[in-house]
Structure 1
Amino acid sequence: MGMMHPGGMYPVEPHISSLSNPDFDFSGFRENFVDQVAPLYQVPSQQSINIRQILHDFDPVRQLLFRFDAYGTVAEVTLSLIEKDPSGPVTKAVQALGQLHKQRMRVSQGIELDTKPNRSPADYFHQEALTQLKSNKELQQHLNESDAVAALYLVFFSQLSGCVTDWDEPFAILSDWLIQRRLPVTEEPWLVFQDMSAGERLVVKGALWIDIIASVTTGRGPKFFSLWRRLLGERGTYWGQNHTTFQRGLRMDTLIGCPDEVLLMILEVSLLAQWKATTQHEGILSYRELIRQGNEIEQRMKQNVTDTRLINDNNVSLIQNEMMSKPEMLLDDDTRGAVATLFREAAILYLNTVLSGPCPGVPEISEGVRKITQIIRSLHRSPEVERGAVLPIILAGCMTNDSIHRDFFKGRFLQNEGVGNLMQLRVLMEILWQKRDANIVHGSVSLAHVVQEQGLRLLLV
């Protein structure tokens, strides 16, 4: 995947305190934006910021990006960090997401033309947050919890913007924070993780999710594969026998819908794909060894299935304010179980594309597509759930030559593509289908190849 940096695409705006400078030229901004922002930020203090409005604007974004957040972690962390530092990078990142969502909704409703987001309110706050993060890193030589959470949110800003801005730079900041906390080199990452604050644990989970999922499209292994393997793989051995299954592991399913063992399998398959490509290039690939490793990976996942039920409704920590969904909006256990199964089938499909190549005619691959289609149909067209299941949809969609299946998977994106990266993902599938149809005799076209060829900055989230 080509690396592009936001700094090379958009000018970095001056620090927000310069809005009170009479020499500052506002001509590049919309008039209503100046009227809205300037009075609030002349004095960057808690009193000058309408926290309630900021959280209100962020709430639909939170529900869109973290639909499976069963315990209200994102809401709790965000509120706490904004109250702690109202003019800090988390506030700016949250404002960027809130403004971007409102802008994209206006476009989808035909109220506003679809233009590039630079010089918009969303881009202004995005640049403010990124500038603060880089300043903290360069001047203070230290990244704190707020910096890490803001960086995580800016990665999602990239995807919500339709990949107009890049996710590499904020992810690099996330990586620096992980290294600063010495997680990749510590002998007991589980102990460090358990001692972290809720915000820090959210960052670790978010970085894990991004790094592993990025490996599917970039063709490279995850940057912190050893760390993720230990955190995800110790789910059944770290905890004592007196703990319930609900207390074991990271419980990634309660944040993103995808269980721990599935993420671990995707991690292992991405590393296997890298090994296959290297040995194939060197002319020493053993298909017998490839199949043996693949079978072991699949068996490990099936032997460590997460119980995706929530403990009980009384133990779900919900914050009753404008930022939280009502309790009855939480996904039920049956839906969570179906989504977990959907991700498991997607991981198996991903494995089979590595073992056999991205060839839709292979029986195991066509059967995987059929199962994923069946599960999605059982969800009764739930846009919120489907928006959180991008990975299974795109993997299955790319692995079918059947026109009915193609229309089905394309339709999953068409009905929700007003906000986020779904339009880009739909176009990606269509490009891949065209290439495969034009080269039907010689066979396979891979997802990673098309992403790299097109220079796309997509994450399957």
Structure 2
Amino acid sequence: MGIRPSGCWTCRIRHRKCDSRTPTCKECTDRNVQCHGYGQKPEWMDGAAEEEKENLRIKKAVKENFRSLRRIQNRARQNRRDVAPRLQAVPAQEEQDWGPSGSISPHHGSNLPDSGLDSRDYASISPNNESSSGSANSTRSAYIELARQEPRRIPWIDSHDASLLMHYLDQVFSWQFPYHSYASRSGNRGWLLSLLIQQGPLYHAILSLSSLHQSVLLGREEEYCQQCIAFDRHSRALRELCAFMSCKEEQLFNDAAQMTEFLASGIMLITFEVFRGGEHDWQLHLNALTSTLSQLTTQDIFAPGHCRDDSQRDQMHNHLNFMENKDRDGLQFLITAALWFDILSCVSTGKVPALPYSQWLSIPGLDTAAVMGCQNWIMALIGDLANLKQWKDNSIKTGLLSTRDLAVKGQRIESALENGIKQLEINEKGLTDKEINVLWVSRMFALAALVLLHTIISGPLPKLPEIQSAVSRTIATLHTRPKSCPANGIVWAICVTGCMAQPTVQQSFESCMKEMLADHGRFGNCSTVLRVMRKCWELQQHGVADCKTAMVEMGICALLI
């Protein structure tokens, strides 16, 4: 079969990823809508009234299919409550006698489509022996009814998926969060395991990450097959997340477990794009996270007694007060990661953080050092730098830029950075490896923030003494990297600082990125960072440029994490 990169006509009009199967694709089959195939362009695709009419018909069919699924799920919950008393009353001997003759295959719930289900789909699940006693037969019927109505509730994972999950926990997680502290409050990953057992959107997102990581460890042919699996899992995760949000969007702010599932899925989808190079497609997922979390961002929750709406404050307080929330570990970890992505993305997007970082980073329990290796105060100042740049750009546009105000604002941030760096340069004797790593990573980010500050105040001019000084201090810090400290978590600092390096010291940053490439191969965005730095150096031969300028010239928007 020839390759159909655009998919069927139905998926095109719905803007969905199509697997190009014949005679009908899986997306259309799962949604129970007409698949218009891959032939000539249909007459109704006229870009006008007929196309809109067909689009509305398809949307209506998808919604009706979804409502049908919801009705089945509601009946399943009711039937489960009806069946439960009978299950509890099963004698041990009857359960033993029933086992081989009335067993239910554990595979039946692993690959069911997300919608378009009907009870007939499960008709094949039936006992092999109908001649048992009445009581045993009743027991079998109870189990079969339960399996027919709610197959997904059986927490069974096949061996291949289990292997991928272990690969993620053993190898991918440590790459994704290289400075994660298992001694911190968020160190226990039990919340992650409890979500994986549900086999929801997060489950498939993590399988896609694990498959992608395995693909770079294999040969060419095996790599291609593994990447196909990874992208199939990624598409499944996207579909599952869309279905999850359709069903449970209103529950996010009333159920911390649902919020945790949503945030974890979004972060894994962002990471998937970063692992592929981080050049595109991550912004959509990050925007979804921040737009949801921003609904929790109001000063009221940090100022008791000054609330406009007590019910709203209580609702948000339950999510953000990690001392009282039973799901605090997962939420603490995920909100910290979301803040990290939000703040560091500003260099690439030219925007300011969407989340109230200065308030949230002051919440006890939100510790970026325990998750990402860099202390909170540095992340807050990096967020301040994004706001300073936007203020300067807006002032220039309106012709109201005050150099005195710019200098005052810059001096405040510079003093905070320099004082903080001095505090980091303490005697490391008696500290654990994790604590030493946090100090080193924090120094790298603080020095990069210093370079970024001078770039904002004076412009991207590598020859400026203050920029040269900060770059030199960064190189000296690079040479003192602890042996136990991985370097793949500091690509933001390397890129921001390296782009402002003069030709005589550029080799230091290039060597650092090449070393990371040798360690991690094509997995991650190290090659993207190296290309951005080289493009920036090339542009500086003819004018001024920084990492954002280089990305624009390259036509990318890389997430430097």
Q: Sort the TM-score into its range (normalised by shorter chain).
A: 0.7 to 0.9
* Equivalent residues in 2 for 1:25-44, closer than 5 Å: 41=111, 44=152
Q: Secondary structure at the match of 2:301?
A: coil
Aligned to 1:444: 544
Once the two structures are TM-superposed, the CA of residue 450 in structure 1 deviates from its matched residue by 2.1
What letter is aligned with 2:489?
G
Distance in 2, Cα, partners of 1:295 & 1:249: 30
Instruction: Check 1:355–1:303 CA distance in 2 against 1; reply closer, same or farther (3 A cut).
Output: same
Q: 5+ unaligned residues in a row in structure 1: which ranges?
A: 1-5, 19-36, 236-247, 314-329
Aligned to 1:269: 385
Aligned equivalents of 1:74 and 1:169: distance in 2? 29
Q: What is the aligned counterpart of 2:164 among 11, 31, 54?
A: 54
Deviation of 1:135 (Å) = 1.7
Picking from 174, 180, 195, the partner of 1:69 is 180
- For 1:315-368, what per-residue CA distance to the aligned partner results, in whole angstroms no more than 9, with x for missing partners? xxxxxxxxxxxxxxx943223212211111111111111111111001110111
Q: Residue 160 in 1 paired to residue 268 in 2?
A: no
The structure 1 residue matched to 2:528, chosen from 424, 427, 436, is 424
Match of 1:396 in 2: 497
Match of 2:230 among 117, 122, 140: 122
SS of 1:140's partner is helix
The alpha carbon displacement at 1:446 in A equals 2.0
Output the CA distance in 2 between the equivalents of 1:113 and 1:401.
Answer: 42
Pick closer, same or farther for the CA change 1:350–1:82 going to 2, 3 Å.
same
* Cα distance change, pair 352–398 in 1 and its aligned pair in 2 (3 A): same
- Classify 1:258/1:430 alpha carbon distance in 2 versus 1 (closer, same or farther; 3 Å): same
What does the per-residue CA deviation read over 1:44-65, in whole Å, with 9 as the maximum and x for residues that have no partner?
5422444642332102111111
Instruction: Report the secondary structure of 2:345's partner residue.
Output: helix
| Structure 2 stretches lacking a partner, 5+ long | 1-11, 20-24, 31-106, 113-150, 253-257, 303-315
2:446 alignment partner, one of 344, 366, 375 = 344
Corresponding position of 1:187: 301
Three-state SS of the structure 2 residue aligned to 1:401 is coil
CA RMSD of aligned residues (A): 3.5
Residues in 2 aligned to 1:221 and 1:214: alpha-carbon distance in whole angstroms: 9
Take 2:483 and 2:398, find their aligned partners in 1: how far apart are those partners? 46
Kept in 2: contact 1:349–1:395 (CA 8 A):
yes
Shift of 1:14: 4.3
| 1:293 counterpart = 2:409 | yes
Aligned to 2:508: 408
* Deviation of the 1:136 alpha carbon: 2.0
Contact 2:215 2:224 in 1 (8 A): no
Partner of 2:473: 371
* 2:215 and 2:223 in contact (8 A); partners too: no
Which SS does the other structure have where 2:486 is aligned? helix
Q: Secondary structure at the match of 1:428?
A: helix
Change (3 A) 1:179 1:337: closer
**C-alpha separation in 1, matches of 2:299 and 2:242:** 24
Cα-to-partner distance string for 1:196-217 (whole Å, 9 max, x where unaligned): 4211122211111111101011
Partner secondary structure for residue 444 of structure 1: coil
CA deviation after TM superposition for structure 1 residue 414, in Å: 1.8
Q: How many residues align?
A: 395
Q: d(CA) in 1 for partners of 2:461 and 2:177? A: 33
Counterparts of 1:249 and 1:309 in 2: how far apart (Å)? Answer: 26
Higher relative contact order (CA 8 A, sep 6+): 1
Give the corresponding residue for 1:30: none
Residues 277-335 of structure 1: CA distance to partner in whole angstroms, max 9, x if unpaired?
1111222211111110011123344566888999x99xxxxxxxxxxxxxxxx943223
Partner of 1:98: 210
| AA of the residue aligned to 1:231 | W
The letter for the 2-side match of 1:257 is G
Partner of 1:149: 264
Q: How big is each residue's C-alpha offset from its partner over 1:20-46, in whole Å with a ceiling of 9 and x where there is no partner? A: xxxxxxxxxxxxxxxxx9996466542
Inter-partner Cα distance in structure 1 for 2:380 and 2:292: 22
Give SS of 2:180's match.
Answer: coil
Counterpart CA distance in 2 for 1:187 and 1:136 is 28
For 1:455, give the aligned amino acid.
G
How far apart are 1:380 and its partner, in Å? 5.9
1:257 matched to 2:386:
no
CA distance in 2, matches of 1:157, 1:273: 29
Counterparts in 2 of 1:14 and 1:168: CA distance versus 1, 3 Å: farther
Q: For 1:164 and 1:11, how far apart are their aligned partners in 2? A: 23
Q: Distance in 2 between matches of 1:116 and 1:457?
A: 26
Report if aligned partners of 2:417, 2:450 keep a CA contact under 8 Å in 1: no
Q: TM-score when scaled to structure 1?
A: 0.76
* Distance of aligned partners of 1:376 and 1:114 in 2 relative to their CA distance in 1, 3 Å threshold: farther
State the shift of 1:76 in Å: 3.2
SS at match of 2:235: helix
User: Which residue matches 2:255?
Assistant: none
The match for 1:327 is: none
* Percent identity over paired residues: 23
Distance 1:460 1:61, change over 3 A: same
The residue that corresponds to 1:88 in the other structure is 200
What does residue 335 of structure 2 align with? 204
Q: CA deviation at 1:451?
A: 1.7
* CA 1:436–1:49: 2 relative to 1, 3 Å: same
Q: Which residue of 2 aligns with 1:11?
A: 18
1:173 to 281, 285, 288: 288
What amino acid is the match of 1:167?
W
Deviation (angstroms), 1:75:
3.3
Secondary structure of the 2:548 match is helix
| TM-score w.r.t. length of structure 2 | 0.63
**Alpha-carbon distance between aligned partners in 2 of 1:167 and 1:95, rounded to the nearest angstrom:** 18
Partner of 1:23: none
Q: Residue 456 of structure 1: SS of its match in structure 2?
A: coil
Verify the 8 A CA contact 2:536 2:549 in the aligned structure 1.
Answer: no
What is the CA deviation profile of residues 6-26 of structure 1, one whole-angstrom value per residue up to 9, with x for unaligned ones? 9969437847x97xxxxxxxx
Q: Shift of the alpha carbon at 1:117?
A: 9.3
**Could you report, residue by residue, the CA deviation over 1:234-258 in whole angstroms, capped at 9, with x for unpaired residues?**
36xxxxxxxxxxxx56221111111
**1:193 and 1:392 mapped to 2: Cα distance?**
31
Q: Which residue of 2 aligns with 1:243?
A: none
Q: Do the aligned partners of 2:373 and 2:437 also contact (CA within 8 Å) in 1? A: no
Is residue 62–residue 74 contact of structure 1 (8 Å, CA) maintained in 2? no
Residue 190 of structure 1 and its aligned partner are, at CA, apart by 7.7
